[in-house]
Amino acid sequence: MEVFERRVVGRSDENAIERLTLALDAVAIAGEQRNFRAAAAAALTSLAVEMKASRVTFGTRETRGTRVRAMSNITRFDRRVTEVRNLAATMDEAVDQMVPVQAPSLDENDAVIRTRAEKLREARGSHSVLTQPFARDGKAVGAFVFEWPPSTPPEQHMLDAAADIAALLGPVLDDMRREERWLSSRFFHVCAKHLGRLLGPGHLGRKITVLALAAFLAFLTLYKTEFRVTADARHRGANERVDVAPHDGFDEAPPIRAGDRVATWDIKVKN
Residue-level pLDDT at 205: 83
Q: How far is CA 224 from CA 47, 217, 221, 229, in A?
A: 70, 13, 8, 16
Beta strand pairing status for 139-148 and 101-103? unpaired
pLDDT at 79 over 90: no
What's the pLDDT tens digit per position in 124-158?
888 999 999 999 888 889 999 999 999 888 988 88
Between 33 and 250, whose confidence is greater?
33
The answer to whether the predicted template modeling score (pTM) of the entire model surpasses 0.85 is: no
* Separation of alpha carbons 178 and 174, rounded Å: 6
What's the pLDDT tens digit per position in 150-197?
988 898 888 999 999 999 999 999 999 988 876 666 666 667 766 777
* Separation of alpha carbons 96 and 92, rounded Å: 6
- Percent of the chain surpassing pLDDT 70: 79
Residue-level pLDDT at 41: 93
Averaged pLDDT of the chain: 83
pLDDT at 12 over 60: no
Q: Three-state DSSP class for 183?
A: helix
* Separation of alpha carbons 158 and 162, rounded Å: 7
**Cα angle vertex 94, ends 92, 100, to 5°?**
160
DSSP state at residue 145: E
Between 202 and 140, whose confidence is greater?
140
Residue-level pLDDT at 252: 65
What's the pLDDT tens digit per position in 98-114?
999 998 887 766 788 99
